[in-house]
Structure 1
Amino acid sequence: MDPITHAVVGVAAAVAVGADVSLTNPAIMAALLGAVSPDLDIIYQYWGDHVYLRHHRGFSHSLPGLLGFAVVIGGVLSFLFPELGFVMLFFSAFLGALSHTFLDLLNSYGVMLLYPFSRKKYTLNLLMISDPVLLISSMAVIYFGYQGLNLAYPVLGLVFSYLLLRLFMRRRAEKLIRDYYAGHLDKLIVMPAFIGLAKWDFIVRVQKKNIVGQINLFSCKIIIHKKLKLISEEIKENLEKTKIGKLFKDFTPFFHIDYYIEDNKLIGKFTDMRYFVRNRFLHHATVIVDKDDFQVEKALFQPYSPQNNIEIS
């Protein structure tokens, strides 16, 4: 989710539990700081795209990480505003931070909720990266709170209803896709599209192919972006065992592997199937191995563009 939505939702959460709407209110400050604090993992960008993408939504978005941020924010603000007390400021900061992780849980990138105990990314696949309905609803909570009107819970009820609607839409998309393929699917993943409330991206595995496409629920039209042929399990497993293979598998749960042979070298290509933007996939990786002994000669992580080559040693 985008930073503005995170900030607005965090403040709205504090208003919903009774905080007065004022930028000088320490509880609002704590909620606002808590709501944006998980994205401090942007500091990983200093070491490059591959480090940032590998750790993004890791510890800083986990439950232990949220507690850590809340303790720090609550401690600093309670020192500056002793009249409110640590417990209240800790609670406000934790509420804001929790709203951040909850929002990120709702989109397709996911969060490592239980890090460092598990690196698994959890996702509910309900919302786009930037959701206008959620943003406007949160702004309404803040506005009504500023006007002294206690309408937070009715608005939150509407937000909950909207999330149920999104769940219904995803289930509807899943049914239409299953019908389109006459139920002959080995795997089906449906995710919110980058743009468009009625559009849903999907990945299906059928007839030894990974197929990536999009469905529009208004028109019920299905667009196929790419059909990717599956390779043999033996070669796939060998490529996954390489360092770049493990890194890419850790980075995305939905990836495709292809390969070709050139000058006695096997060149493996990893593709993140989640994001298809401007007629191409967003993230890739390449590994070059000796065809006979499978020794890695070169490995490249290619975030955002196939031309963005970051060598992994």
Structure 2
Amino acid sequence: MDTGTHIAMGVALGGLALIDPVIASEPLTHKAVISGVLVGSLIPDVDTVLKFRNNAVYIRNHRGITHSMPAVALWPILISGILYWIYPDVNLLHLWLWTFLAVFLHVFVDIFNSYGTQALRPFSHKWVALSVINTFDPIIFALHLIAFGVWWKTGEPVPTMLGLLAILVLYYILRFAMKRAVTHAVEHTVPNAEEIFVAPTMSFFQWRVAASTKEAHYVGRAYGRSVTIYDKFDRLPLPTEEKVVKVAMTDSNMRAFTSFSPTYRWVIDELKDGGYEVRLIDLRYRSKGYYPFVAVVHLDDEYNILNSYTGWIFSEQKLQKKLHIEK
């Protein structure tokens, strides 16, 4: 989820914590718990700082080890230990329990996005992505704001947050049912599909769609059960035997892209001033006729890598500025 929603969930959890008699009867412990759940709701995303290094490192590692099983166990210990040092009279066990719940909830809700997490590490490095909730879901965020308003008006955090939790559970069940219906619609639209990708958007009824048969990739959108295919691309294997591709695929940006993107097409072009461009284009995130998630490598005539880039880019002009070379 986005940072704002994680913060909102932390605030809601702070209110729900008053269901615990120890916290309700010890104001200092409740104060520490509020700090613990807020920090715990955010700390798994500390790996966002990897963006300052480069996109390849960020793509390969974001929501990786910081969202893993060992991290879910260690973050609450670290946070609770620091808060216990600040507030030595608090109930450490209950502080740890609620902080653990905040960290666990952060990782748990992230698996419902299309990006997903490596929550099963160290047992598996597979990305767990259920693709039923958009990274920012305006309905979920609005439900939290409404609940905070009810809390402020009534002064009753526990029943309010329990009601919010019940509504959210029903909402998630509804989203699973909607995704299943869209998937069935895609199967009818592309009957020979071997792979189907369905992902939510910020619009409640709209879903991104990418499907692959043995011969082609199909990209479109679904509105309810109505599927519209916008683009069709021949499904061709990447010519890994060609030297330009062999060299390009050694680049860290290309390796990061392929570790994350299961559905993409490739393009190899000659550059205007000599050399080559190898481009991989993720087909899952079509937006306004453009495919913004790409990996690009430029090589000279001797197959030396000149520059490369991977990440989200929304115009060809901006991409070429990133590469510092004119095509």
Taking structure 2 as the reference length, the TM-score comes to: 0.81
Q: Does 1:126 align with 2:132?
A: yes
Q: CA deviation at 1:87?
A: 2.1
Q: 1:222 aligns with which of 227, 235, 256?
A: 227
User: More helix per residue: 1 or 2?
Assistant: 2
SS in 1 for 2:127: coil
Counterpart contact for 2:151–2:160, Cα < 8 Å: yes
For 1:65, give the aligned amino acid: A
User: Residues 233 and 145 (structure 1 numbering): CA distance in 2 closer, same or farther, change over 3 Å?
Assistant: same
**Paired positions, count:** 305
Structure 2 distance, partners of 1:67, 1:310, is: 41
Structure 2 distance, partners of 1:143, 1:300, is: 48
Deviates more, 1:22-31 or 1:102-111: 22-31
Match of 1:304 in 2: 312
User: Residues 241 and 80 (structure 1 numbering): CA distance in 2 closer, same or farther, change over 3 Å?
Assistant: same
Query: How big is each residue's C-alpha offset from its partner over 1:91-140, in whole Å with a ceiling of 9 and x where there is no partner?
Result: 22221122211221111111111335543211111101211222233345
User: Residues 250 and 310 (structure 1 numbering): CA distance in 2 closer, same or farther, change over 3 Å?
Assistant: farther
Q: Where does 1:95-134 land on structure 2 (aligned, <5 Å)?
A: 95-134=101-140
For 2:228, give the aligned amino acid: I
Match of 1:168 in 2: 177
Q: CA deviation at 1:85?
A: 2.7
User: Residues 90 and 255 (structure 1 numbering): CA distance in 2 closer, same or farther, change over 3 Å?
Assistant: farther
For 2:257, give the aligned amino acid: F
Runs of 5+ unmatched residues, structure 2: 314-318
Q: Where does 1:100-249 land on structure 2 (aligned, <5 Å)?
A: 100-143=106-149, 147-148=155-156, 150-181=159-190, 183-193=191-201, 195-206=202-213, 208-217=215-224, 220-232=225-237, 234-235=239-240, 242-244=250-252, 245-249=254-258
Deviates more, 1:195-204 or 1:18-27: 18-27
User: Residues 236 and 257 (structure 1 numbering): CA distance in 2 closer, same or farther, change over 3 Å?
Assistant: farther
Counterpart contact for 2:197–2:284, Cα < 8 Å: no
Match of 2:60 in 1: 54
Among all aligned residue pairs of Structure 1 and Structure 2, give the percentage whose two residues are the same amino acid: 23
Counterpart contact for 2:195–2:212, Cα < 8 Å: yes
Query: How big is each residue's C-alpha offset from its partner over 1:179-229, in whole Å with a ceiling of 9 and x where there is no partner?
Result: 222x22121111112x20100101111352212211111xx4433343222
Q: 1:254 aligns with which of 248, 259, 263?
A: 263
Runs of 5+ unmatched residues, structure 1: none
Q: Where does 1:274-313 land on structure 2 (aligned, <5 Å)?
A: 274-287=284-297, 297-298=305-306, 300-305=308-313, 306-307=319-320, 309=322
SS in 2 for 1:82: coil
Structure 1 distance, partners of 2:60, 2:2, is: 19
Query: How big is each residue's C-alpha offset from its partner over 1:120-166, in whole Å with a ceiling of 9 and x where there is no partner?
Result: 21111110121122223334555555622524334322211111110
Structure 2 distance, partners of 1:214, 1:296, is: 39
Deviates more, 1:83-92 or 1:221-230: 221-230
Q: CA deviation at 1:296?
A: 5.5
Taking structure 1 as the reference length, the TM-score comes to: 0.84
Match of 1:9 in 2: 9
Deviates more, 1:134-143 or 1:232-241: 232-241
Counterpart contact for 1:242–1:296, Cα < 8 Å: no
